[in-house]
Amino acid sequence: MSVRSVHLPLEDPAVDSVTAAIHDVPRSRALPVLLAPGAGGDLDGPGLTALAETLAGLGHPVVRVNLPHHELGRRSAPRAERSVAPLRQLLHAAKEELGRSGNWILGGKSYGGRVASLAVAGGVDAAGLLFYGYPLHPPGRPEKLRVDHWPDIGVPCLFLHGTRDPFGEVELLERQVRKLPRRVTLHVVEGGDHSLRVTGRASPDGTPRSEADSVAALAEPIRAWIGTLEP
């Protein structure tokens, strides 16, 4: 497995291409994966990179992409709905770059996963959605749920979620996922925050874990979920 940096073309008034990192897996026929970052990070965040490496280690080609505001270095993201069109274009560009048509797994960290979910609810074909810390609501605002589009998501979903995530308590997430029409898998990381980072105090065994370590430890549940998807 190798990783290469490319620029994927984009029709956007502010930027004509974005940086992407491609985890190549030679001769793999496993489902490819497109991952987008959280609102304030970029494609090189340690958790997102670890997720891509874990998926590639399971045999899946992976493309990590910036969205336009990431490419421009902006910490403030536009409304998630405004990033759907760029993500659609980047999925098409990633398919062209890898020569892999057909359905992909879509997802990403927080905002990036939410954008992917909006794209699928709007008609983008996918084999499944992989959420790394879905931003169920703004911190401290559980009444401002971001689930209106969920009944229109017609693919299986995997949620990787921490018990200390301020963007959504596990109990609230468990209730809300009933709105999703297809099978939902929720994998909870005990003591994990929004990035699945675990402090020593929050860890069940007293051992702190970085976001990258927590994500890497999820290879088996990720593999099991992907094994249930249709190509």
pLDDT, average across residues 92-121: 97
Q: Where do the domains of the chain lie?
A: 2-226
pLDDT of residue 230: 76
pLDDT score of 114 more than 80:
yes
How many contiguous H segments (helices) and E segments (strands) does the chain have? 7, 8
What pLDDT digit, counting tens, does each position of 179-229 carry?
Answer: 999 999 999 999 999 999 999 999 999 999 999 999 999 999 999 999 999
Rounded CA-CA distance 219/214 in Å is 10
What burial class does residue 213 get, using C-beta atoms within 10 Å of its C-beta: 0-12 exposed, 13-18 middle, 19+ buried? middle
What CATH number does domain 2-226 carry, 3.40.50.1820, 2.60.120.590, 1.10.10.10, 3.30.360.10?
3.40.50.1820
Span 62-98, pLDDT tens digits: 999 999 999 998 878 999 999 999 999 999 999 999 9
pLDDT of residue 75: 79
Please give the pLDDT value at position 94: 98
Query: Minimal CA–CA distance to 67: which of 45, 38, 96?
Result: 38
**Crossing angle of helices 219-226 and 46-57, rounded to 10°:** 60
Query: Is residue 231 predicted with pLDDT exceeding 80?
Result: no
DSSP H helices, the chain, are: 46-57, 68-71, 84-98, 111-121, 170-176, 211-216, 219-226
pLDDT digits (tens, 9 = 90+) for 44-59: 999 999 999 999 999 9
What size, in residues, is the chain?
231
% of the chain exceeding 90 in pLDDT? 94
Average pLDDT over residues 159-188: 97
